[in-house]
Amino acid sequence: MTAKVLSLRERVSLPVLVWLVVLWLLLWGDLSWANVLSGTVLALLVTVVLPLPKVSFGVRVRPLRVVALLARFLVDLVAASAQVAWLAVRPGPQPRNSVVRVPLHSGSDLFVAMTAEMVSLVPGSVIVEIGAPSARGGPGSVYIHALGVHTEEGRERTRRNVLLTERRIMRTFATPRAYAEYLERCRADGSDGLCGEEP
């Protein structure tokens, strides 16, 4: 088995080169021609001698869906903030909470992480643990500490909200192949109603 020898063009990536120069300038804390030149030479040396492997994220960005995803996130953020504020000031006993396990269907570490991030940014929900697909050999899952949720109905509502967030992320960023695999896992799980149709 022979190793592929990368050409100079394949080894040097302009975004990586620029980022390394910016880091060099930040480390020195001074914007001068000497620092820019030495940072460029060092960045070239690093990218030629220590090339990074190509990474494919399998993402296809749909701009209109990004806008819809952000708009829905803002709606969820405002509604959850109001609920948490009410729980904080209302009279009576402290709210009871639950840790809820939600099995996901994306099958990708990236999409599981994106789902977990969006869920944890909404007040009242904290991600306790992420079961990534590559680590567990399964589709992935998240464990959420949900504020003010203590009934089975509330836990189901939490699961549904997380699965809907995952669906919106998949419809926004997944390639057609990844989305088809996601739909297949949803059908196998019996979660067809939360998966939606092809993007």
In a domain, 148, yes or no: yes
In a domain, 171, yes or no: yes
Name the domain count of the chain. Answer: 2
Token duo for residue 111 = 């999409």
Say if CB 148 and CB 124 are below 8 A apart.
yes
Q: Are 44 and 130 members of one domain? A: no
Tens-place pLDDT, residues 108-117: 888 999 999 9
Task: Please give the pLDDT value at position 151.
Answer: 92
Tens-place pLDDT, residues 129-175: 988 776 655 678 899 999 989 899 999 999 999 999 999 999 999 99
- Cα 72 to Cα 98, 152, 168: the distances in Å are 24, 25, 9
- pTM listed for this prediction: 0.71
Spatial CA neighbour of 72 closest among 118, 117, 110: 118
Any alpha helices (H) in the chain, and if so which ranges? 8-11, 14-28, 33-49, 63-89, 109-121, 133-136, 152-173, 176-189, 192-195
Q: Are 70 and 44 members of one domain? A: no
Q: Are 83 and 109 members of one domain? A: yes
Q: Are 26 and 118 members of one domain? A: no
Parent domain of 72: 63-195
